[in-house]
Amino acid sequence: MERKPKEGPLQGIRILDLTRLYPGPLGTMMLADMGADVIKIEDVNSPDYMRFYPPYIASESAGFVAVNRSKRSLALNLKTQKGVDIFFSLVKTADIVIEQFRPGVLDEMGIGYEQSRQVKEDIIYVSLTGYGQNGPYAKDAGHDINYIGYAGILSSAGSRETGPLLPGPQLADVAGGAYMSMIACLCALWAREKTGKGQLVDVAMLDCVLPLITLQMAHYQATKINLAPGELPLSGGLACYGIYSCADGKYIAMGILESKFWKIFCEMAGRTEWIDKHLVMGEEAENLRREIASLFRTKTRDEWAAAAKKLDICITPVLDISEVETDPHLQARQMIYERVHPVCGRIREIGIPLKFSDTRPQPSGPSPALGEDTRSILEETGYTQGEIEALRQERVIQFPDSP
């Protein structure tokens, strides 16, 4: 079956994907969704760990399925010279190599940026790490929680009573890793278009998650006050910007920063005395928050949401994940993508966020089995059937039906 993407704005771009787990694979999946030919290269003896992480849909890891669609899979032993030779033969055909190892690992394997640019001078390398290629933490182990801890994000989430609280999504993995690696790829491609030169792009998740606290850092620079969790204006400090429990135990999100909306809300609530307290902070905000909380407990979430929608005042329901996939707006935006997976059956996935009027992207296939496209990729690269079979016998490569 032909699994190359046939639609999208990145048609004609080939990416060799050496990333594993979450941040890199999510970024390369979105690039593949947008038309790039992404070849996921996995070690024949130690494939992407995400393949083995629960929970499972049938025999497939739900996490792996979620972040690896639209890609082709090549199972390759890069610890052998023949495996390295295959890699370099692919580099000659590629635009970008994206990797997620600690600094220096690919150089030791003989397939780093400097080695690859000897094969293809204008190759682009995007190196995605936790802490970057240099600095005191460069070679330290880390995960999302560590990066957002260093970035000051954890210290701004939660409340004085709870202390720092973990956000639901992995902010550094997604915003700092997946999204920024995509931006790195596209910027480097454009630079090469103008200069003819490839380059190495150093993407550190700690660096890339720092812009998420731009406003908080500006607040500190202006006041020199190190506020406790929950005291920053948009993290609990303002009563007009917060989450409130309703009569049915569900929650409503209030984001009323404009005075015109605040006035309408106070009139709807029958509490015009609140109008002058819109942006109060500290103890005044605490008192106001208690009064607003009492108000929201008088009706259900959906009753409040329906009333607020008529007034257009930035009060919306807090949806559970089970409600997200049936939300009519997200369905209309094609952000809930339904497909039939060969193993998992009918599944729902997150759709493609970017909408193009002409070069419309479309997922090209489900997540691949390990080595599913090994044979076709090597055939494209010029290997004969006899050479491919010999490489399989030597366990340099692997197919799904390899012994």
Of 72, 161, 94, 138, the residue nearest 369 (C-alpha) = 72
Dist CA 272 CA 294 (whole Å): 16
In sequence order, the β-bridge partners of residue 252 are 244, 317
pLDDT score for 160: 79
Q: For the purposes of burial, counting CB atoms within 10 Å of the CB of 332, is it exposed (0-12), middle (13-18) or buried (19 or more)? A: exposed
pTM of this prediction? 0.94
pLDDT score for 199: 98
> Domains plus CATH for the chain?
14-211+328-398 (3.40.50.10540), 251-317 (no CATH)
Contact indicator for 19, 28 with CB cutoff of 8 Å: yes
Contacts of 373 (CB under 8 A, 6+ apart): 3, 39, 72, 73, 74
| Secondary structure string (H, E, C) spanning the chain | CCCCCCCCCCCCCEEEECCCCCHHHHHHHHHHHCCCEEEEEEECCCCCHHHHCCCEECCEEHHHHHHCCCCEEEEECCCCHHHHHHHHHHHCCCCEEEECCCCCHHHHHCCCHHHHHHHCCCCEEEEEECCCCCCCCCCCCCCHHHHHHHCCCHHHCEECCCEECCCCCCHHHHHHHHHHHHHHHHHHHHHHHHHCCCCEEEEEHHHHHHHHHHHHHHHHHHHCCCCCCCCCHHHCCCCCEEEEECCCCCEEEEECCCHHHHHHHHHHHCCHHHHHHCCCCHHHHHHHHHHHHHHHCCCCHHHHHHHHHHHCCCEEECCCHHHHCCCHHHHHCCCEEEEEECCCEEEEEECCCCCCCCCCCCCCCCCCCCCCCHHHHHHHHCCCHHHHHHHHHCCCEECCCCC
pLDDT score for 231: 86
Q: What residue ranges of the chain have pLDDT lower than 50?
A: none
Tens digit of each residue's pLDDT (9 = 90 or more) over 339-389: 889 999 999 999 999 999 999 998 989 999 999 999 999 999 999 999 999
In sequence order, the β-bridge partners of residue 315 are 254
| Token pair for 110 | 């003989």
In sequence order, the β-bridge partners of residue 37 are 14
Helix axes 81-91, 374-381, angle to 10 degrees: 70
